[in-house]
Amino acid sequence: MKKQTVLITGANKGIGLETARQLATAGYHIYLGARDKERGDKAVAELHAEGLTDVEFLQLEVTSEESAQAAYHTLAASIDHLDVLINNAGIPGSFPQPALNTADEIFREVFEVNVIGVARIARIFVPLMQNAPNPRIVNVTSDLGSLTLHSDASWRHYEVKTAAYGPSKSALNNYTIALAYELKDKFKVNAVNPGYTKTDFNGNQGYKSVEEGAAPIVKYAMIDKDGPTGGYFSDYGVTPW
């Protein structure tokens, strides 16, 4: 039986790399997307050294239309369909991000990657997923995108307010709803929150391991045709919008 194929953006380190590792271990063929070839090749070599040889590097910069189109044509020339797309690439932007004093360029930089980049990759790669028997898209989000949690003074991260990063994930969540609706006849599209995971992304301050952070992403990447769509999930179940 032919292995299912997965494209993961921003997968050369952290949660993205661990997601690649777990899915490769589960028997998927991974296209490890990264903008830097040297780092991408190094990540692939690391997984190959672990015996996970069904992993290939795919050069992909989510903020570049040219790069994304080139990556699409590379995949389309070698496979007849893509089964799973995981939009993992994301940036926090410079901190702190006070509501009244965050520079315009920080908003642009964060939204360009976290929202526009995801929409670009979906637009370009969904056509390659149309022939998949059970196409799935996972948009990696954050609980900092939850308006409900941000309004709850008892929430453990209530005081973590970011003018650009959190709102970018709220926008990503809303985009996920729109995309899931548009693709509702066949696709499963969900936003998945890995939780506060210890990675370079947050200066290794998280309380979850990368193995724990990747687990819910892997779970929703592997759902069957009866799985949910248009949801916002984490390892503890449904995250409130």
Instruction: State the catalytic residue, choosing from 169, 196, 220, 232.
Output: 169
Quote the CA–CA distance of 109 and 72 in Å, as a whole number: 23
Q: Quick one: DSSP state of residue 231?
A: -
DSSP output for 75-132 = HHTT-S---EEEE------SS---TTS--HHHHHHHHIIIIIHHHHHHHHHHHHHTTS
Sheet containing strand 29-34, edge to edge, reads: 55-59, 29-34, 5-8, 84-87, 136-140, 188-192, 232-234, 237-238
Measured N-to-C along each axis, helices 37-49 and 14-25 cross at an angle, to the nearest 10 degrees, of: 40
Query: What is the distance between the alpha carbons of residues 241 and 227, in angstroms, rounded to a whole number?
Result: 19
φ/ψ of 43, rounded to 5, equals -65, -40
| Cβ count near 108 (within 10 Å) | 13
Distance CA 42, CA 33 (A): 12
Among the listed residues 72, 165, 196, 220, the single catalytic one is 165
Question: Is 169 one of the annotated active-site residues of the chain?
Answer: yes
Q: Give yes or no for a contact between 124 and 72, defined as CB atoms under 8 angstroms apart.
A: yes
Which residues are known to be catalytic?
Answer: 165, 169
